[in-house]
Amino acid sequence: MPRCLAALSVMLVLAVLPGCKGDPKTPEYWEKRLSGAKRADGRIQVVESLRTSGNLQEGFLPMLHARLAAEKKPEVKAALARAIGDLKSPTSLEPLQAALDPSSADSETALANKELAAVLGRLGDPKAAPALVGLLRNRDNYTRVEAVQALGLLRAPQAVEPLVQIASSDDNETFLQKKAIEALGRIGDAKAVPMLMRMLTKERPGTSYYAESALALYQVGTPAADALLAAMEGRDAELKTWVQQHGVHPASYAMKGAQILGYLKDRRAEASLLKQLSFTDSNAQVQVLVRMQSAEALGRMRATAAVRPIAALASEEDPMVRAAYVRALVLLGGRDALPALEKAAGQGDWYAREVAMRAVAMLGNAQEQPLFTKWAQSEPALAAKECQEYGGDGCDNPEALGLKRGETILRYGKVLEAAKACSADPGCWAQKLGDKEPRIVERAALELGRTGNPQHAAAMAGRLSEKDPETRAALVQALDWMVGDSKESAAKAREALPKIEAQLADEKGNRTFADVNEDLRRLAFRLERA
């Protein structure tokens, strides 16, 4: 019996050995494995094993191209396309295009077309554009989405017209429309601007296209700014007619135009934005939104002429509205707004007072330090009074609430200690970027951003993953100023682009960073095009 077992073991080893022959670092080894796999799922497994083996290199391409051309199963074609795409070789353009089947929309072929389109986009060769444009007519939406995204990556001008048609047609899924808008932004062709302007305010049940359209207009740049200015100032007769026909509020473009022009920092809009700070409307909410967006835009532009009119609005009772004006004053910088902010810090409820105190910390110096001690000492009595009148969180123990708020005020006061130590010294403020107190980091970022000194651009870019959203917002805004002011700053900050893109992908869908990451996305675009 033992002899039989030994003989059987030898036979099994001999049976296995032929499959182990060959060098896995050679195309011939993998070609043999692919030929030996009779089932489609077996060939897919071989391809995926090759991709993860560490052996895949450019010398494998002739074999992979030949296998792609000969393969009949779409799902295997998809796997081969992924492997070919890993190598990103210009020689793969023709084989990949030849493998497309644009007329078919069955699920298996759609999978292959989708993978092939994605690889063609990553390949980066503009010659792939005609084949991808052909896929836009495919009946499978997933294939169309992948073709749309690929055309955006290629920045293909010949795709503008069909993408405009996709984006503006309600016959298409909203997701496909949004992807078409995003692709048009990446392409950056002025011919898309009229459609993008309409999509800013267009809505379908449960869907707004504003975010995608606003980013796309930002990416188009100057031609979009021309259109936004004309719309905001009421000079676009065609758009005005469209607005009336579709029941869009006439002030929509005053508000949304202001916001995007602020992102673009187009100084041509300054006079109109200053005028809009006194905008009036029968709808109080519309009125305040136009004013708020105009103030924010002027802050982003660092339009010093806006300090006085915005300071006049800083005592607004509503804490959220006041916060918008106060934030604009902080971005504008300088000491001229401090008297109005000091006044606002003594008016309204805690939330309204707090934003004003915080702004004083962002703009003041040693001269304002005694104010924070005074405010902290007064807060317990104010908290007790508010609790008695309105109630609210923490009012079960008004004394503890007042002391807690006082501690918050004193922490704001510490920002002025940093201001006293650093004054106008960029090197000192650069060291403060590593401080544990978020508000000190916030002020340091803004101080450095206003200097435009490229020496600190890399350090700023390295802090963009800051977990405090408001601190991150200050870092992004300050670095955006630096990038706009200096090509050297842009070059230094651009080194962080891969990290920024990975961060945006990782935080996609994270509501904590949703707003600030829109600013970060615009900054990433500027760095990419720098």
Residue 357: name the closest of 347, 367, 370, 342 by CA.
Answer: 342
Nearest of 159, 146, 88 to residue 117 by alpha carbon: 146
* Residue at which a domain ends, from 396, 423, 450: 423
Q: Is there a single domain that holds both residue 407 and residue 432? A: no
Residues 328 and 438 in one domain: no
Same domain, 108 and 62: yes
Residue ending a domain, choose from 139, 154, 169 = 154
CATH of the domain at 73: 1.25.10.10
Residue 191: helix, strand or coil by DSSP? helix
438 and 384 within one domain: no
Kindly state the helix (H) or strand (E) to which residue 46 belongs, with its residue range.
helix 40-53
Asked whether residue 445 falls in the same domain as residue 398, the answer is no
The token pair that represents 278 in the structure block: 């006194």
Query: CB–CB of 95/65 below 8 Å?
Result: yes
Domain housing 487: 425-530
Residue 434 belongs to a domain with what CATH number?
1.25.10
| Residue count of the chain | 530
Enter the pTM of the model. 0.90
Query: Residue 324 has which token pair?
Result: 């918008």
Q: Are residues 528 and 436 in the same domain?
A: yes
Q: Is residue 234 included in any domain, yes or no?
A: no
Q: Same structural domain for residues 338 and 447?
A: no
* Residue-by-residue pLDDT tens, the chain, 530 positions: 444 444 434 343 333 334 446 899 999 999 999 999 999 999 999 999 999 999 999 999 999 999 999 999 999 999 999 999 999 999 999 999 999 999 887 888 999 999 999 999 999 999 999 999 999 999 999 999 999 999 999 999 999 999 999 999 999 999 999 999 999 999 999 999 999 999 999 999 999 999 999 999 999 999 999 999 999 999 999 999 999 999 999 899 999 999 999 999 999 999 999 999 999 999 999 999 999 999 999 999 999 999 999 999 999 999 999 999 999 999 999 999 999 999 999 999 999 999 999 999 999 999 999 999 999 999 999 999 999 999 999 999 999 999 999 999 999 999 999 999 999 999 999 999 999 999 999 999 999 999 989 999 999 999 999 999 999 999 999 999 999 999 999 999 999 999 999 999 999 999 999 999 999 999 999 999 98
Residue 224 parent element (H or E): helix 222-232
In this structure, how many other beta carbons lie within 10 angstroms of the beta carbon of residue 386? Answer: 20
Pair (419, 431) in one structural domain: no
Half-sphere exposure of 272 (CA within 13 A, CB side): 23
H-helix or E-strand containing 162? helix 160-168
Tokens of 88: 């990103």
Residues 328 and 416 in one domain: yes
Total count of domains within the chain: 3
Task: Give the pair of three-digit tokens for residue 445.
Answer: 């970022």
Cα–Cα distance between 175 and 1 in angstroms, integer?
69
* Position 10 in a domain: no
Question: Which residue, of 398, 423, 448, is where some domain finishes?
Answer: 423
Nearest by Cα to 326 from 352, 304, 303: 352
| Domain assignment present for 184 | no
Judge whether 111 lies within some domain.
yes
Q: Is residue 224 part of a domain?
A: no
Q: Are residues 398 and 454 in the same domain?
A: no
Q: Give Cα separations from 259 to 211, 425, 521 (angstroms).
A: 11, 32, 15
Residue 168 lies in a domain: no
Whether residue 28 is found in the same domain as residue 90: yes
Q: Which amino acid is at 171?
A: D
Q: How far, in Å, CA of 4 to CA of 328, rounded?
A: 89
Asked if residue 280 lies in contact with residue 287, where contact means CB atoms within 8 angstroms, the answer is: yes
The answer to the question of residue 130 being in a domain is: yes
Do 381 and 490 lie in a common domain? no
Task: Please indicate, yes or no, if residue 397 is contained in any of the structural domains.
Answer: yes
- Please provide the DSSP assignment of 258-293 as one string: HHHHHHHT-GGGHHHHHHHTT---SSHHHHHHHHHH
List the one residue out of 149, 234, 236, 156 whose CA is nearest residue 196.
236
